[in-house]
Amino acid sequence: MSRPFTPKVVTANDLLIGDVIYQTVDDGWTRDLAKAEILTDEADAQLRLLHAERQHTRLVGAYLADVNEGPDGPLPAHFREAFRASGPSNHNHGKQERTSHV
């Protein structure tokens, strides 16, 4: 028996910058997980993933990531995605640089 489909977002890495990015409803990309399109239909999710995979000059490593629906948008469902959403593990770069107190 197959498992039921759970909400997902399409995520990848920006090819030029390396940042984690998420697909938006308008076919754009954002660095903010809360602005990503939540996909609740498996067939639609596969089509959105195929659309992302064709953008090989813009991004790399596109895949569907499990999320939970939060009051302000999608939230990571797994540690890996929470880690990716927070930015590089080095506080002197990317998203974490803005929150660094050093």
Express each pLDDT in 28-68 by its tens digit: 999 999 999 999 999 999 999 999 999 999 999 999 999 99
For the chain, percent of residues with pLDDT exceeding 90: 71
**Domain ranges across the chain:** 8-97
Q: Say if residue 9's pLDDT is above 50.
A: yes
- Find residue 14's DSSP bridge partners: 59
Q: What is the mean pLDDT of residues 19-36?
A: 96
The pLDDT of residue 98 is 55
Q: Say if residue 84's pLDDT is above 50.
A: yes
